[in-house]
Amino acid sequence: MNARLTSAALGDAVDIAAWYDRRQAGLGDQFLAAVEAFGHRIEVSPRVCGRVSRGPRGREVREGILRRFPFILVYEVTANELLIVDISHARSKRRPWRRRLNTP
């Protein structure tokens, strides 16, 4: 099973990496590598992370935290793929993953 980022999640990743690069050169690349490693980890074991609280019925939506960076990735397990729909800071109250579930 392959993991892929939605266009919104990819935009999140690029914006966050740019922010880290402004703080320290090369740190954005390390962030992107952590996102890629997370994708590989869930490809091997899609249910390694816990389900989101009050997730939509009939859909398997899970979330996990990145190693080394305080960001939560929300992904949906489908029959064909793992779809990463959101990357948010762990302390953020904003969680747009519900709106993004139906966006390609």
Q: Give tens-digit pLDDT for 54-80.
A: 888 889 999 999 999 999 999 999 999
- Give the domain ranges of the chain: 2-100
Residue 3: what are its φ and ψ, rounded to 5°?
-100, 140
Nearest to 72 by CA among 7, 21, 22, 16: 16
Name 7's Cβ contacts closer than 8 Å, sequence gap at least 6: 103, 104
Name 79's Cβ contacts closer than 8 Å, sequence gap at least 6: none
Residue 47, token pair as written in the block: 């249910």
Nearest to 61 by CA among 11, 98, 8: 98
The arrangement of secondary structure in 2-100, i.e. its CATH architecture, is 2-Layer Sandwich (3.30)
More confident position, 35 or 103: 35
Q: What proportion of the chain, given as a percentage, has pLDDT over 90?
A: 77
Q: Give tens-digit pLDDT for 91-101.
A: 887 677 877 77
Look at the pTM and tell me if it is higher than 0.85.
Answer: yes
Whether the per-residue pLDDT at 46 is higher than 80: the answer is yes
Nearest to 52 by CA among 8, 17, 98: 98
* pLDDT at residue 55, rounded to an integer: 84
Whether the per-residue pLDDT at 8 is higher than 60: the answer is yes
Q: What region does 26 belong to: left with phi over 0, alpha with psi -120 to 50, or beta?
A: left
